[in-house]
Every structure is written in structure tokens, then in C-alpha cells.
Structure 1
């Protein structure tokens, strides 16, 4: 295999037409330059330079290698520039996965802010079709995933969980419901009501079930919807009451009343899952800071 450093030495000799001049340019001694060229000729199996008076000129093989060395040098320089742009956050791509209720509320303004700061970075947000997109972060397929976890939950190996915010669940009642006259509803007051389930099984349903258990009951779920708009429609139609997180209530149905819940107040904790060490990427760091803000 040809040594790239020796090819660059050959290129300097050919460019200057003199071993001595090339040595002065490279900061080597003339004997060191001659040794490098001799070693390269041994690797190539053919003479690369020939004497002309007090100078040297390339053989056909020398011209061939010198041309390739110039192309390689250009590619290396381009690679170094591309790496510098990537390190500085001027180029690159970020793959983001999120769940529906944070899209218009948390994610949209954070994406806009990150894109203003790093306009050359392509940010690819996609609604996750997995209950848990954290494995995609672990495998390097996704740069950032927004997930719901218990406070203090352990992450997968090589993944860091950055807490973004607490998102409290609120009582969603038909507008004519007697409890709608209150500003705050005790969770136990909903024990005898039929319920509309607003969450699929998983980390977003668990805070509801745990809070109801702490209040001394298990909700009687008579209808289930896995999107908040339909759940509100079911409540407005009088099928039951529901608990929906605050971030899921940015668009409210006119037929429901929303009230704060206490004793206890169910809350989900939202995290960003990122690979350990990935926050050296300026664009990813900017996106995470925007989500926190």
C-alpha cells in the first residue's frame, strides 16, 4: 500500500523541481526527503524521479502518483471543511421522534427556534408510531426522541434522559355536569362516574391509574379513544368524564368544561432521550435547549 505522506513529499519535490527546495518547504532535511522518496519508489516498484542537471523531474510513474496525490489532498481538504461545518452546526441532519400532543405545543416552537439558529441543518421530525422510540435513539437511527417516563426512570445504555417538563392531567367534563361548577375537582369525586379512556396502555396511562388508586378507586372505562380530540367528543356527548393532559387540550371541544384535579393531581413527566455525548452537536443542543425553554 502506498504511503500518503510519502506521496505528498513526492508532490513537493515535483512541484519545486529540487529535493533541497522541497526539504526547505516541508521543514525536513534533504536526506530525509530523499529517504521518503526512495521508500515510496520501493512501495511502487518503479522509479519516480530522474536527475536533470542539479534538479529532478518526475518519471511517467512519478507524474501519475503526483496527480493522484493532488486529488487526494483536495478530497482531504474538502473532508476537513465538511467536518468543521458539521462540528459548528452549519450542516447536518437531525432525526426527531415525538408523540402527538407535544407537536403543536412544545415541538413546533422549539423546531422554529433551532432552525433559525442553524438554518443549514435539516431537521426531520416524525410522529412516532412506536410506544417507545428510545431504542431508535440507542441504535443511532434517531437523534432525539420525546418520551414519557416515571421521574427518576433509568434509560437504556448509552442514552441520556433530559427532563423537559411536568404535564398535569385535567378533568374534562360535559358542560352541564354538576362538577363543572367547581374550579377544582377532587379526583375521588369522579369515582362513581363512567370514564372515557384518553390514553393507550403505557407510560401515559400509568399516572392516571396510579392516581385513581391513590384516591381509592379504579376508573370504570366505558369508552376508549387514543386521541384527545375524539375523547373530548365522547365526553361532550355525555358518554363519561375523562382526564387529559394540559398539553393535549390546546384545541378544546366547545361541549366540555376543563377543571384542575387535586388529591392527587395525576402528572406525566416528559423527557428528551438523546445519545450520551451527542450534545456536542450544536444543532441538537440548540433544539434541546429550546424544548426545555
Structure 2
């Protein structure tokens, strides 16, 4: 097998025209360079240099190896540049998993900001259930996943969570509902109402059930919609009332009114999940910063019902 370092030394000898000149330029002794050239010729199995007076010139095999050495040098330089870009966070790939309502409100502005700053980063986006996204992060299939989880939940092996936002639930009522005249509702005001469900059992429904329990009742779900847009349609049709998180109300149905609730106010916590042992990557750190900025903007701009 040919020694790449010796090939680069051959290139220096050919370029300078002599062993002595190459040794002087590289800070070696002429005998050391000659020994390396002899070793390279042994590896190649063919003569690479021939003497011309006080200098040397490459044989056909020597020119061949010199050309390849030049190509290798260019590839190494390109690799070093690419690694420097990656270390600086200007290139690379990030795989992001998110849930539906976080997409438009947090992921879109965060990714747009990152692409403006670092257009060389490739970002893979996929809508994913948290039960699937966390194992992906742990197994290195994804770099970050946005999830909803209770603040008091214990640690998850191999995962580090960064809090992004608290998403408050709001009451959604038919536009002609008797409670629509109130600016803010006590949660108990909805105790005797039929309810439209918008979440499947899990971390998004749990805050609603817990808050209703603290207010002294269990909601009577007469419709299970499974998504926030459909839930608003059922509410507008007068089938019941509901609680929808603020991030789920980006597009409001014209037939509903939205009111803040209290005593207590249900809240779901949104986190970014990354691999606990993941090395520090500038691109990932910047994406997390952008997600936090987007989450802050959601809180500021959606403060009114």
C-alpha cells in the first residue's frame, strides 16, 4: 500500500526539482528525504525519479503519483475546510420531530431564522407522535423532538429536556352562548355543560382533566374530535364547549368565542428533547435558541384571548 505522506513528499521533490531543495523547504535532511523516496519506490515497485545533473525529474510513474498526490492534497484541504464549517455550525444536518400545533407556531419561525443565518445546514422536519420521537432521539435517529410533558415528570433515560413554553388553555364557546358575555370564566362555570373533546388521552388531555378535577367536576364529553380545528366546528354548531391550548387556536372558527379561564387555569408545558450525551454542536444549540425565541414570541403575541 502506498504511503500518502511519502506521496506528498514526492510531490515536493518533483515541484522543487531536487531532493536537496525539497529537504530545505520542508526542514528535513536530504538523506531523510532520499530514504523516504527509496521506500516509496519499493512500495510502488517501479522507479519514480531519475537524476538529471544536480537535480531529479519524475519518471512516467513518478508523474502519475505526483498528480494523484496533488489530488489527495486538494481533497484533504477540502475535508479540513468542511470540518471547520461543521465545527462552526455553518453546515451539517439536523433532524427535527414535532407535534402539530408546535409546527406553525414554533418550528416554522425557528427553522426560518436558522436558515437565514446558516443556509448551509440541512434540516429534516417530520411530524411525529412523542411516543415515537423520544426513542428516535435516544437512538440518534433525530437530533431534537418537541414534546408536551408534565413539569413534575421524572427524568427519561438518555434524554435531556429544555423547557420552551407554557401553553395555556382557553375556553371555546358557541358565539351565542350564555357565558360569552363574561371576559374571564371560572372553570367551574363549565361544569354542567356538554363538552367537545379535542385531545386524545395523554399529556395534552391530562392538564384539562386535572384542572377540572381541582374545580370539583369531571367534564361530560359528548363529542370526541381528535383535533382542534374540528373541535371548533363542533363547538360552533352548538354541540358543546371545550378547552383548547392557545397554540391550537392559530386559526379560529368564526362561529366561536374564546375566553380565558381561571380557578384553576390548565397549562401544558412544551419541551425540546435532545440526547443527554450528545456532544455540543453549534447548529443544534442555535436551533434550540431559535425555538426558545419563537416560543417567547408565541407567549407575547397570543396573550389576549
The TM-score with structure 2 as length reference comes to 0.85
Q: Which residue of 1 aligns with 2:70?
A: 70
The alpha carbon displacement at 1:237 in A equals 1.3
Taking a change above 3 Å as real, the CA distance of residues 251 and 278 of structure 1, as seen in their structure-2 partners, is farther
Q: Which residue of 2 aligns with 1:26?
A: 26
Q: Give 5+ residue unaligned stretches, structure 2.
A: 294-305
Q: Which is further off, 39-48 or 77-86?
A: 39-48
Taking a change above 3 Å as real, the CA distance of residues 131 and 195 of structure 1, as seen in their structure-2 partners, is farther
Q: How far apart in 2 are the matches of 1:162 and 1:2?
A: 50
Q: Which residue of 2 aligns with 1:209?
A: 209
Q: How far apart in 2 are the matches of 1:164 and 1:187?
A: 26
Q: Which residue of 2 aligns with 1:12?
A: 12
Q: Which runs of structure 2 are paired with 1:279-290 in the superposition (5 Å)?
A: 279-282=280-283, 284-290=284-290
1:108 aligns with 2:108: yes
Q: Give 5+ residue unaligned stretches, structure 1.
A: none
Q: Which runs of structure 2 are paired with 1:265-284 in the superposition (5 Å)?
A: 265-275=265-275, 276-277=277-278, 279-282=280-283, 284=284
The alpha carbon displacement at 1:169 in A equals 1.0
The alignment partner of 2:180 has SS state of helix
Q: Which residue of 2 aligns with 1:264?
A: 264
What is the root-mean-square deviation of aligned Cα atoms in Å? 2.3
Q: Which residue of 2 aligns with 1:96?
A: 96
Determine if contact 2:89/2:281 at 8 Å carries over to the other structure.
no
Give the number of equivalent residue pairs. Answer: 291
Determine if contact 1:134/1:156 at 8 Å carries over to the other structure.
no
The alpha carbon displacement at 1:247 in A equals 1.0
Q: How far apart in 1 are the matches of 2:31 and 2:160?
A: 54
The alpha carbon displacement at 1:24 in A equals 1.3
The alignment partner of 1:133 has SS state of helix
The TM-score with structure 1 as length reference comes to 0.89
Deviations 1:151-210 (A, max 9, x none): 1542441x4321111001111122233333322222233233221111122221222222
Q: How far apart in 1 are the matches of 2:117 and 2:189?
A: 48
The alignment partner of 1:181 has SS state of coil
Q: Which residue of 2 aligns with 1:137?
A: 137
Q: Which residue of 1 aligns with 2:179?
A: 179
1:59 aligns with 2:62: no
Q: How far apart in 1 are the matches of 2:4 and 2:170?
A: 66
